[in-house]
Amino acid sequence: MNKLHKIDLFINVIIPMVIGVGIYTTWHLSGFVRNQLPDALWAWALFSCLLILWNRKVNTFWVVASFVSCIAFEILQNYKWIPGTGDYFDVMVYVISGTVALLTNQYFFILFNYNYDHTN
Amino acid sequence: MTTRIKNLLSIFTMGLFFTIAIASSASHKTYKDAANWIPPGFNPNSGTLLIETHPLKTKQNDRMIEFLQKNYPYPYEVVVSSAINSKEGKYADTKKYPFAVVWEGKSSLVASPNGGTGRAMPEYNMYGNFVDRTTGKEYPTTKKINNYGQIGYVPFFNSITQQFK
């Protein structure tokens, strides 16, 4: 993993996760920022992490697996099979965030072009 | 990095992210309409809030108490509903115990996801509301979507804590 690879990981995985945790632990926030933004950042970080792992080349299996897992996660929570609370709005947030991560993937691939050209 | 290692790392990544998600879900949720159901005269620092025991099993009550200990920094006591309603005994003093929180469990059958052709799924949700023990006035419960099941107390008390932070 070279320097650009680490920067990509830092910008798209570490920072969103840190911001998400920050929002979770900040009490005075409310509404979308408190309830859905951390979920959106979590999904962004998940999709980005998998894309970075595959050198910013879309691996259809893992992309589909991520979407399916996110939806299944909320369904399982809704039926109390796993801890938490199922929320259809959260599913929408995951799908939007994952889709945006995929749509911007090419941008990050070009941005860190040097990195991925030399790690393949 | 070989494809095999990438696949293994992908499995690990998914596992890690969903573990984080499970660990943090629900614990932060609040009801946005807290101002509508928290009594205007309620001050969590003034007096002790009486909280009715969890309407389901003892195990759920233990979890609720554990949650309160960790997340509700104001004075409270978890008591049975008869103690809240009684005009005698330890909790009769309404100056010391001016407000109470009581629970209502609402069970319903929700149509199956395949359009109702299959078996309906039972769903239980827990609604809380304040009672002014001096006047006997009951305040409304949240009007927001409540699909928090047996842990309906989590967004309820999160909302109160957030309101008075």
C-alpha distances in angstroms, B136 versus A21, A77, B16, B82?
41, 37, 49, 14
CA distances, B52 to each of B12, B59, B81 (Å): 43, 15, 6
**Residue A113 Cα, gap to closest chain B Cα (Å):** 18
Contact between B30 and B159 (Cβ < 8 Å): yes
Task: Give B-chain residues touching A86 at CB under 8 angstroms.
Answer: 147
- Distance separating alpha carbons of residues B116 and B143, to the nearest angstrom: 26
pLDDT in tens, B70-94: 889 999 999 999 999 998 999 999 9
User: Higher pLDDT residue, B49 or A5?
Assistant: B49
Mean pLDDT of B103-109: 75
Separation between Cα atoms, residue B135 and residue B159, nearest integer Å: 24
How far apart (Å, rounded) are the C-alpha atoms in residues B162 and B71? 11
The first and second tokens of residue A99, run together, are 């889709």
- Provide the 10 A C-beta neighbour count for residue B131: 20
DSSP strands (E only) in chain B: 49-52, 76-79, 99-110, 121-132
Determine whether the interchain pair B148/A53 forms a contact, defined as Cβ–Cβ distance below 8 Å.
no
Is the Cβ pair A53, B10 closer than 8 Å? yes
Pairing between β-strand B121-132 and β-strand B99-110 as defined by DSSP bridges: antiparallel
**How far is the C-alpha of B15 from the C-alpha of B7, rounded, in Å?**
12
Interface test with A, best of B2, B8, B24, B25 (most A CBs within 10 A): B25
Opening angle at CA A30, ends A24 and A34, nearest 5: 35
pLDDT number for residue A27: 47
Size of interface A-B (CB pairs under 8 A): 70
Task: Tell which of A14, A27, A51, A75 to mutate to test the B interface (max B CBs under 10 Å).
Answer: A27
Question: Residue B5 above 70 pLDDT?
Answer: yes
Identify all chain B residues contacting A82, using CB atoms and an 8 Å cutoff: 22
Average pLDDT over residues B40-61: 91
Q: pTM for this structure? A: 0.58
User: What ipTM is given for this predicted complex?
Assistant: 0.86
Within 13 A of A115's CA, how many CA atoms are on the CB side? 20
In this prediction, residue B113 has a pLDDT band, given cuts at 50, 70 and 90, of very low
| pLDDT computed for residue B114 by the predictor | 45
In the predicted model, residues of chain A with pLDDT beneath 50 are 27, 120
Q: Which residues on chain B are in Cβ contact (under 8 Å) with A62?
A: 10
Length of chain B in terms of residues written: 165
What CA–CA distances, in Å, run from B6 to A14, A37, B10? 19, 29, 6
* B contact test, residue of A2, A53, A115 with most B CBs within 10 A: A53
CB-based burial, A2-36: b 16+ in 10 Å, e otherwise: eebbeebbeebbeebbeebeebeeeeebeeeebbb
Which residues of A make CB contacts under 8 Å with B?
Answer: 17, 21, 24, 27-28, 30-31, 34-35, 38, 42, 45-46, 49-50, 53-54, 59, 62, 65-66, 69, 73, 77-80, 82-87, 119
